[in-house]
Amino acid sequence: MALSTRKWLGLALLAGALELLAAAPAAAQGTVRRHLVYFRDKAGTPYSVTQPQAFLSARAIARRTKQGIAVLPRDLPVNPAYVTQVKNLTGSPQVVYTSRWFNAAVVACDSVTLARITALPIVRSAATLNRSQQKFSPAPAPVQVPPVAARGTLATRAQYGPAYQQDRQIGATAMHDAGFRGDGMHIAVFDAGFPGVNQIPAMQPLFQENRLVATRNFVDGGKNVYLRNSHGTNCVSAIAANQAGFYIGTAPKATFHLCITEDVNSEHPIEEANWLAAAEYADSAGVDVISSSLGYTTFDAPSRSYTYAAMNGRTAISSRAATVAARVGMVVVSAAGNEGNNFWRYISAPADADSIISVAAVDSMGNKAGFSSFGPSADGRIKPTLAAMGQAAAVLSPSGAAFRGNGTSYACPVLAGMVAGFWQANPTLTAQQVIAALRSTASQANNPDNSLGYGIPNFVTAYNALHPTAPLAATASSPTAEALGLYPNPAGEGALTLVLPQDLRGQPLTLRVLDARGAVVAQQRLSASTSSEVPVRMGRLAKGAYTCEVSAGTTRRTVKFVQQ
């Protein structure tokens, strides 16, 4: 994964092909483990590539059809007769889930039963995926960093809150001004848990507008994802949060699928198998973009770890899964890893996968973050692919509070949201054409390296390259740029800051605060100021919704805020 502990992206290390794990010492008889059981073929399957509606949603079929991607035997489900043979063996093996792409099943059983399974003529091989059975316990909270100084157009900043710079840096604010906020695009987020997402005010539009369409928990089973580790909450907020005046993510109108694939209590290949299962779910559900802030390099003993040589896109199970996900028409966005200043140094799986976007981290000025992992992949491909703000990036906690943290974990969703909006704006592109368009117009497109890849992409630059006769303006042009702003919003007990449009500067102002009934509850005079930013104190206000009105002569502007 990708936080400040060994579990998180870049701070975990893996080594060796999944098949090699079968050579590790067998589990003690009677101890139930999870194993990946590979079948020999799909002979006799009742499914057909000519009838994909039996195993793919209409949206999934449409995504493939639009991109000219055929349904292949690889896409057919595992033969159900093979699954039945496994289930009927003595020892009561449990088939947890199956994999279409790998023609395999994740099976929970003890070592004696596993021997019976591998003896079946239909089985090619098996690999043990986990070696411990630990109870869930909360992982440490991410390290928070101090806020960065405000920069840029403050009226727009007042709307976006602390997310402003990370959104603006890749052109997402201009993308929103142009009307592309991810509407109609489906994004799947793979992570370790999403506590608080169903309660955070800035995330409520997801529920009010029915844009959280599915949840899957591949660790515990079932559909409850509002538990476990808050890393997923942090990451999805960077895309989906939508509370003007407090925080706006990069694709605040997209539709979401939340999947728990990571167990932070241990590091074993079972989590990569969970990633595979989630990717196949995303494919079948018709997802457009996968955002994954997870990474694998080293496992807990006795599972065998990866070496850098295995970061070739063809060895790690998550990398192989990510490659297939790209082949079936999804854009996979994966955090590159946080290993840049430690002994591993390089990208982790699945960031090494072919045909995906591996995301490096930069600061607000576009400088590479020291912790961001380097490329290339072990087979010499340029990695990472692109970069976004991951140093002092703003995300939300399960309580709904905004904080700043470090990690390619955060750069990944910031960029994934822009990718969704860019694809929305250019719906005739294929997934690979989306990646190519962003890559070819990024800040280092003419001189890519293994620090930031092709560099920092920008929505406007990429869009204008595709639409030279109808380009967008390079800067935001929405009415919010000349609106009255106020932050923080919601407000606490401290001072507030007014962000004045040009027509209210340089003259004395009258400020009034009206409650929800329209009654004036506070009033004051403000001295003339040429500054765009003026601190004010509203006095003691009861909790609730208010309107702040600022006027000068016949010019009057209002902004709504919430007192907490």
How many angstroms separate the CA atoms of 419 and 515, rounded? 40
Q: What are the backbone angles phi and psi of residue 328, rounded to the nearest 5°? A: -95, 10
Instruction: Please tell me the predicted confidence (pLDDT) of residue 132.
Output: 55
Would you state the structure tokens that stand for residue 301, as one six-digit string?
Answer: 């003993």
Q: In this model, does residue 29 exceed pLDDT 60?
A: no
The conformation of residue 357, written as its DSSP 8-state character, comes to E
What CATH number does the domain located at 147-466 have? 3.40.50.200
Q: What is the mean pLDDT of residues 277-285?
A: 98
139 pLDDT higher than 80: no
Q: Mean of the pLDDT values across residues 330-350?
A: 97
Strands 496-499 and 485-487, how do they pair? antiparallel
The C-alpha angle with vertex 388 and arms to 416 and 177, in degrees rounded to 5, equals 65
**pLDDT tens sequence across 56-98:** 999 999 999 999 999 999 999 999 999 999 999 999 999 999 9
| pTM of the predicted protein model | 0.80
Residue 145 has pLDDT above 60, yes or no: no
**Residue 296 backbone phi and psi in degrees, to 5:** -135, 130
Banded pLDDT at 539 (limits 50, 70, 90) = confident
When the pLDDT of each residue in the chain is averaged and rounded to a whole number, the result is: 88
Q: Is 447 exposed, middle or buried (0-12, 13-18, 19+ CB in 10 A)?
A: exposed
pLDDT tens, position by position, 454-464: 999 999 999 99
Say how far apart CA 416 and CA 457 lie, in whole Å: 12
Q: Which of 190-194, 219-223, 514-518 has the lowest mean pLDDT?
A: 514-518
Pick the catalytic residue: 35, 176, 186, 231?
A: 231
Residue 136 has pLDDT above 50, yes or no: no
409 is catalytic: yes
Identify which has the larger pLDDT, 293 or 531.
Answer: 293
Establish whether 48 is a catalytic residue.
no
Give the per-residue pLDDT at 477: 38
Specify which residues 393 forms β-bridges with. Answer: 405
Choose, from 75, 110, 191, 283, the residue flagged as catalytic: 191
> What are the residues facing 188 on neighbouring strands?
257, 290
The pLDDT score that the predictor gives to residue 404 is 96
Q: Report the percentage of the chain scoring pLDDT > 90.
A: 73
Residue whose entry in the numeric block shows the structure tokens 């401290």: 494
User: Which CATH number does 482-563 carry?
Assistant: 2.60.40.3080
Q: Where are the domains of the chain?
A: 25-128, 147-466, 482-563
DSSP 561: E
pLDDT tens profile 408-440: 999 999 999 999 999 999 999 999 999 999 999
* Residue 529 appears among annotated catalytic residues: no
- Contact between residue 523 and residue 546 where contact means Cβ atoms under 8 Å apart: no
Q: Identify the band that residue 142 occupies on the pLDDT scale cut at 50, 70 and 90.
A: very low
The amino acid present at 514, given as its one-letter code, is L
The answer to whether the CB of 311 falls within 8 A of the CB of 349 is yes
- Asked if 335 and 8 touch (Cβ cutoff 8 Å), the reply is no
Type of residue numbered 110: D
pLDDT attached to residue 478 = 39
Please report which confidence band the pLDDT of residue 554 belongs to, taking 50, 70 and 90 as the band edges: confident
Task: For residues 178 and 435, give the distance between their C-alpha atoms in angstroms, rounded to a whole number.
Answer: 20
Which one, of 403, 377, 456, lies nearest residue 161 by Cα?
Answer: 403
Least Cα distance to 357 among 256, 289, 310 occurs for 289
pLDDT at position 474 over 80: no
> What is the widest separation between alpha-carbon atoms in the chain?
88
Give tens-digit pLDDT for 34-67.
999 999 999 999 999 999 999 999 999 999 999 9
Give residue 243's pLDDT: 95
d(C-alpha 153, C-alpha 527), whole Å: 22
* Count of residues in the chain: 564
Please identify which of the residues 293, 319, 373, 409 carries the catalytic annotation.
Answer: 409
- Confidence category of residue 452, pLDDT binned at 50, 70, 90: very high
Q: Do domains 147-466 and 482-563 have the same CATH topology?
A: no
What is residue 492's predicted lDDT score, i.e. its pLDDT?
Answer: 78
Q: Which of 194, 286, 190, 211 lies closest to 255, judged by CA?
A: 211
Query: How far apart are the C-alpha atoms of 396 and 273, rounded to whole Å?
Result: 28
